Amino acid sequence: MARRDRGFALATILPALLVLAAIYVYPLLRTIGYSFTDYDLINRTNHFVGFANYVSLFSDPTFYTALINTLALGIAPMLGAFLLGFTEALVLNEITAGSGILRGLVLLPWVVPQVVIAFLFQFMYNPTVGVFNVILKDLGIIRTFQPWLAHPATAPAAVVLAYVWNETPFFMLMLLAGLQSIPNEIIEAAVVDGAGWWQRLWFVTLPQLRRIIAITTILTVIWNFNNFTIIWPMTEGGPANWTLTFSVWVYRQAFQDFNLGYAATIGVLWLGLLLVVTGFYLRAIGGRDEAP
């Protein structure tokens, strides 16, 4: 490219770069800067404290609780939603009559706003009038109504179920598109070679979908890591921090405790975790398809 052309190109993208810098780079740098301060709106302090927040964070038991919960609530719903979504995609791929209506119905949970999903599930889990309790008691599985969101043993699973319900249609949609893009010739060749349904699924379908599976699962994990709208209305990170994730913890520290320095430190470490996962994602979308 000629020098003049390069100058022109730079001039045309400069406004966009400046906007991006203002929106992304400045807040990021500011957050990293705050993580080295004791910025606290209640105690009215804002001094440089070096790595004190990081040292304090690594000695804070809540950090490890939040880390484990963030990983668990990032990965477990993805696994559940993937299995259900893949099953739905396989079924819908075989159905021809009424498939349009069925696909529309199956997609519904994906279009419901997450905060609505949170309140719906919270109501369904209600310990006095919730439909979960009514059904389980009628079936004889429980003797008394249970506080699903208030018990450490059940609250994380109850939250995971809400995530799964929301995310399953995404997997269904993407994997169904993937299934329909597999050339018929490959399937037919496998049939001719005497491959059964399971063998076709394992040796033909799954390898063909490998890249889609990698992208969708990693994307879902990233979304789950950042999820706030489901978990906050449902549990606020409780009971006793059993569903506390980094997103909830940062919110609490920043907007309830106004401990901005510490909140920024959590945010920076959380960003590091997300960057690792994003690295996997970039590798997945940048990878080359293997020849069938």
Return residues touching another protein (CB under 8 A): 41-44, 61, 126-129, 144, 147, 149-152, 235-241, 252, 255-259
Q: How far is the CB of 161 from another protein (least distance, A)?
A: 17
Question: For residue 40, which phi and psi values (nearest 5 degrees)?
Answer: -145, 115
Q: How far is the CB of 119 from another protein (least distance, A)?
A: 13
Closer CB to another protein, 70 or 217, in the complex: 70
Instruction: For residue 37, give the 3-state DSSP assignment.
Output: strand
Task: Count CA atoms closer than 13 A to 219's CA, side-chain side.
Answer: 14
Q: What is the 8-class DSSP label of residue 147? A: -
Residue whose pair of structure tokens reads 């909140």 in the numeric block: 263
Closer CB to another protein, 147 or 207, in the complex: 147
Q: How far is the CB of 151 from another protein (least distance, A)?
A: 6
Closer CB to another protein, 31 or 56, in the complex: 56
Please give the radius of gyration of the chain, using alpha carbons only, rounded to the nearest integer.
Answer: 24
Closer CB to another protein, 149 or 175, in the complex: 149
Pick from 159, 169, 257, 156: nearest CA to 220: 169
Q: How far is the CB of 256 from another protein (least distance, A)?
A: 6
Q: How far is the CB of 61 from another protein (least distance, A)?
A: 8
Q: How far is the CB of 235 from another protein (least distance, A)?
A: 7
User: Rounded to a whole number, what is the distance in angstroms from the first to the last CA of the chain?
Assistant: 39
- Cα–Cα distance between 4 and 151 in angstroms, integer? 67
Closer CB to another protein, 66 or 219, in the complex: 66
Whether cis (ω within 30° of 0) applies to the bond prior to 109 is no
73 contact partners, CB below 8 Å, separation of at least 6: 156, 159, 160, 163, 224, 227, 231, 243, 245
- Cα–Cα distance between 199 and 206 in angstroms, integer? 10
Closer CB to another protein, 56 or 278, in the complex: 56
